[in-house]
Structure formats: C-alpha cells, structure tokens
A = this chain, B = another copy of it.
Amino acid sequence: MTVAAAPADGDRLAFIGRIRTPWTDRRDCPRQGSTDGPECRLIVDDVWIPALAGLDDYATIEVLYWLDRARRDLVTQSPRGDGTVYGTFALRSPVRPNPIGTSIVRLDRIERGILTVRGLDCLDGTPLLDIKPDRALFIPKAPPKSGV
C-alpha cells in the first residue's frame, strides 16, 4: 500500500502528524522525558494511519520529531551558563544543526490514529517525523541475509 506520491523528496522532511504535550513554553519542558511522565499524544495524519498496523505489539516505541523552534547554528554551547563549554554533539540539547528529537516512550494505547504515550519532552504542537518499534524489542521480519 502506497501514498499517491512520495510525501517529500531530496533533503526535505515530511511531517506525518503532530505531538500534543502539556508544555507550551520551552522553560516548562523536561530536560529528558521519563516514562513516568504525563500522558502525551501523537496525532497521526489520516493518510499514515494504516502504517500503524502491528505497532501495538510493542510496549515501548521510538519517536522522532522536529524541534522546529530550536536554533541550528551553534557548534558549541554552555548549558549551565557558567562558561563551561561543550560541543553540540556531546549534548542532547534541542539546539543542533538538524534539530531531530529521539525518545523511547511507553505506548499506552492506539485509538483511531492517536497514540497515547509517556516519556516525551517536547513542546505542544511539535511536528512528528517517525515512529518505530524500540530497537531493543524489534526482531527483523525478513529472513537473515548471508554473512550478516
């Protein structure tokens, strides 16, 4: 089953839905999500709802999202503001050249394209990029390849 055309091409992202969280100000977002945290919802666009088939086999899933309000030009950062400087790639800050958040979240339920999860840390309204089974739980469906 395909969509009518690839949703985007080249190096352009395709938003597949939106994330609803309790946080509307960046200062309120947790520094890292916790599976003990509040319920959040992934609202998947209608065209991608059939792509969720089988996902409810997984208690935890990986979620990718686009931190669209983060600046992208910092090579080094001082998160404490005390002069201690870290490279951007040594941090999990939203500020990075490609502001893609990745979280492992607990999947509580899926109802009509809405996933209820716990463990996110992003602002309400954040664009959704991808959903995958937790790599720690996933067993490839296709047969093994020779030599690998």
- Measured CB to CB, the residues of A under 8 A from B are 1-9, 11-16, 27-32, 47-48, 50-55, 57-58, 62, 64, 66, 71-76, 79-81, 84-92, 96-98, 100, 102-104, 127, 129-133, 135, 138, 140-145, 147-148
Q: In the complex the two chains form, is A31's CB within 8 Å of B100's CB?
A: no
Q: In the complex the two chains form, is A51's CB within 8 Å of B72's CB?
A: no
* Nearest CB in chain B to that of A32: its residue: B140
- A-B contacts, 15 listed (Cβ < 8 Å): A2-B74, A4-B73, A5-B73, A11-B127, A16-B97, A27-B145, A31-B140, A31-B142, A53-B87, A53-B90, A55-B89, A62-B102, A79-B142, A84-B141, A92-B140
* Nearest CB in chain B to that of A140: its residue: B31
- Output the least CB separation between A131 and chain B (Å): 4
Q: In the complex the two chains form, is B3's CB within 8 Å of A73's CB?
A: yes
Instruction: Supply 9 further A-B pairs (C-beta < 8 A) apart from A51-B76, A52-B90, A96-B130.
Output: A7-B72, A8-B98, A13-B13, A31-B148, A53-B87, A55-B89, A62-B102, A79-B141, A92-B138
Interface of A is mostly: loop
Q: In the complex the two chains form, is A90's CB within 8 Å of B135's CB?
A: no
